[in-house]
Amino acid sequence: MLDRRDNPQTKPRLDWKDLLALILATYARTAPLVLAYCVLMLIITYVLLYVILPLLAS
């Protein structure tokens, strides 16, 4: 008699919704850190382009 775990038809397949939920659950803790990092990089880029470079050019 075959074991049910060895039968590929009884294995649950990952749907795209399941995969999306898994990714969101995995990155739920690190998402605020990534968002803060992106905002910080935008602020630094703005300051560099519109404050420091005009001062250097003048």
Given a cut of 90, whether residue 47 has pLDDT beyond it is: yes
pTM greater than 0.75 (yes/no) = no
Is the CB of residue 40 less than 8 Å from the CB of residue 46? Answer: no
Locate 21 and state its tokens: 């939920």
Q: How far apart are CA 48 and CA 54, in angstroms?
A: 9
Whole-angstrom Cα Rg for the chain? 24
Nearest 5°: CA angle at 25, between 22 and 28? 145
Given a cut of 90, whether residue 43 has pLDDT beyond it is: yes
What confidence tens digit (pLDDT) does each residue in 1-22 have?
A: 555 566 666 667 778 898 898 8
